[in-house]
Structure 1
């Protein structure tokens, strides 16, 4: 008496082709979707509003530094002139 070696008895290869292939396919789909999700959400330099990198305007940074008192008005004007060239 042989158990588990036939194709139509619910064991062995019959079970593999019946539901195992479907489960393996679903497993790989879930893995691929998870990888894509984590890769897309792991990049901190991507802006959520359009996918472009977020970079502040250098003149705006200079204005903020001037407002904090880190640079003088003359330095601000010099930075603005240099950046506009």
Structure 2
């Protein structure tokens, strides 16, 4: 009644199993692209902050730990760096 391939083939002519696999492949590709975009955006922000502000804060912490600056100066400089 259904004709040739009525139950065994999807719209793409490859069969339901292979058509379903293509859907999974597309879904995985979309998820991978979204992951890499989000990951690259977050890592570039983290690198910028670490390379500029992170190093300066480490130096400031070290100077405070060695006693080169007092608490008031430390807080003022730290607040300035975090802006």
Q: TM-score, normalising length from structure 1? A: 0.48
**Which is bigger in relative contact order (C-alpha 8 A, separation at least 6)?**
2
Q: Which has the larger radius of gyration?
A: 1
More helix by share: 2
Q: TM-score, normalising length from structure 2? A: 0.49
